[in-house]
Structure 1
Amino acid sequence: MNHAPPPARLGFLYPGHAAEDDYPLMGSMVQPPAEVTLIHTEFLEDAHTVEALSEMGSVGRLSQGAEALAGSEIESVMWTSTSASFVLGLEGIRQQIDALEKLLGVPASTTAMAFARAVKTIDAKRVAIAATYPKDVAQRFREFLQHFDIEVVHLASRGIITAAEVGTLGKDEVINFALANTREDADALLIPDTALHSAAWLTDLEQATGKPVLTANQVSFWEALRLCGKLTPQSGLGHLFEEAP
């Protein structure tokens, strides 16, 4: 008699309000469905600037959010901001992860680290990036990926300042943005910004571009499952989820 594995219990710390509904959606798309607990973290300013992102991703802000997850029986926790992890560099990310693991006693990671792992998992050597951020912030994502010997062959920045505005972009705009920045010499397209909706359109994005597409919310959810040992092949969530871990 086969017993279905118990559902994964995943915790997400998400700054503000933009595309957080991607997480319960992905929770319902995997088999068995995952239990998603999402906490909105606070910050001083909704802006894709290095200063604002550094405050947003500070250990103090993450610790505040983590307190709301204490006792929730989650099996892993993610800081789901790409930019408010990579702007702090590898040492800053290590501090974020250490703080969350100490506070909650479960494995932790960040969206930036999830991107690095996901790129390696699909064996992409060269990538194109379609970033919604301003140019200086997008450039820091390129620098972050270079630590992992990931070559960036194309980097586009849409120059949107606030996460709230990014969250209003619809399916056609996101697919057109992806298409405009797909490159023949790239093994995959990266779309970093957890404020951008993508979960419902992952199959459409890959069909349109003809490439594996990695989006911020997708890699965050994948990493959360991987951390708690409950990552299994799934359909409908892009190339990344189709491979056995």
Structure 2
Amino acid sequence: MTTVGLLRPEGHPEDDYRRIETLLGSDIRVDSVRYEGPGADPEQLTAGAERLRLAAADAVVWASSSASFAQGWEAARERARSLALATGIPASSTAIGFAHAVRAVGATRVVVAGALPGEVAGAVVRFLAAAGVEVVGEWRVDGEVPLPELVRAADDPRAQAVLVPDTAVPTVAEVPEAEAAVGKPVLTGTLVTVWEGLRLAERHGAWADELGALFVRRGPREVWEPGE
């Protein structure tokens, strides 16, 4: 059994994580600890990570897109290191997971789409640029839009993948249709968050056709690691 532990903001839906857990099979569990507020308080995150460690989590991921992107690349990496040192298990965040996931699907140029405020969208672009990922387009919407429609509208021929970073919006059920609409990987906040936890737990063999390109069957040497 491999358990991915999530530090999840209060009010963020849990349905996507349950769906991912079910599709990946009975030997993978997604556990979570909810917290209130913006989640930038190190003590609050460390306490949540410790609870997840005691619940036998193999890795911990801070499942907040806007807050983790807003820190910037270096600060996000330092936060992850601090959580790992405090708990003794690997730690990361949704934002760091996106940098890894983009490489894992073979992309270097992406489009960012979703209902993100302007300042958050700007933080996403700066974060990805610092991680070596080029953002060739942004597409912001007000309110919820079906994922295939959003991805189709946002797509750019220069982009090799479409990113929908928001972890507060359920997307998993629509990922296959969205990828079929544009013919390229679609990486969403909840998918990337769980994938990053599995990467940290060294479960590279977790796959499910219903979860899109990020979870297709691939050999161990095809998964990008930091520093490569």
Q: Give the TM-score normalised by structure 1.
A: 0.83
Q: Which residue matches 1:42?
A: 36
| DSSP 3-state at the match of 2:136 | strand
Matches within 5 A, 1:71-82: 71-82=54-65
2:9 equivalent to 1:12: no
**Displacement after TM superposition at 1:102 (Å):** 2.3
| DSSP 3-state at the match of 1:56 | coil
2:81 equivalent to 1:98: yes
**Displacement after TM superposition at 1:33 (Å):** 4.0
Pick aligned residue for 1:227 from 179, 194, 200: 200
**Displacement after TM superposition at 1:132 (Å):** 1.5
**Displacement after TM superposition at 1:37 (Å):** 1.1
Q: Which residue matches 2:187?
A: 214
Unaligned stretches of 5+ residues in structure 1 = 1-6, 44-54, 161-168
User: Cα RMSD (Å) of the superposition?
Assistant: 1.7
- Give CA deviations for 1:140-161 in whole Å, capped at 9, x if unaligned: 100111112211111122356x
2:178 equivalent to 1:205: yes
2:219 equivalent to 1:236: no
Q: Which residue matches 2:69?
A: 86
Unaligned stretches of 5+ residues in structure 2 = 224-228
Contact 2:110 2:136 in 1 (8 A): yes
**Displacement after TM superposition at 1:82 (Å):** 1.5
Contact 2:72 2:126 in 1 (8 A): no
Separation in 2, partners of 1:159, 1:60: 33
Separation in 2, partners of 1:157, 1:58: 28
**Displacement after TM superposition at 1:125 (Å):** 1.8
Q: Which residue matches 2:160?
A: 187
- Give CA deviations for 1:119-166 in whole Å, capped at 9, x if unaligned: 111121211110321112101100111112211111122356xxxxxx
Matches within 5 A, 1:100-179: 100-158=83-141, 169=144, 173-179=146-152
**Displacement after TM superposition at 1:106 (Å):** 0.8
Contact 2:109 2:159 in 1 (8 A): yes
Separation in 2, partners of 1:195, 1:221: 14
**Displacement after TM superposition at 1:68 (Å):** 2.8
One-letter code aligned to 1:81: S
Runs of 4+ that moved beyond 3 A: none
| DSSP 3-state at the match of 1:176 | helix
Contact 1:135 1:159 in 2 (8 A): no
Report the CA distance shift for 1:33/1:105 in structure 2 as closer, same or farther (over 3 A): same
Q: Identity of aligned pairs, percent?
A: 34
| DSSP 3-state at the match of 1:155 | strand
**Displacement after TM superposition at 1:217 (Å):** 0.7
Q: Give the TM-score normalised by structure 2.
A: 0.89
Contact 1:41 1:64 in 2 (8 A): no
One-letter code aligned to 2:4: L
Separation in 2, partners of 1:100, 1:125: 28
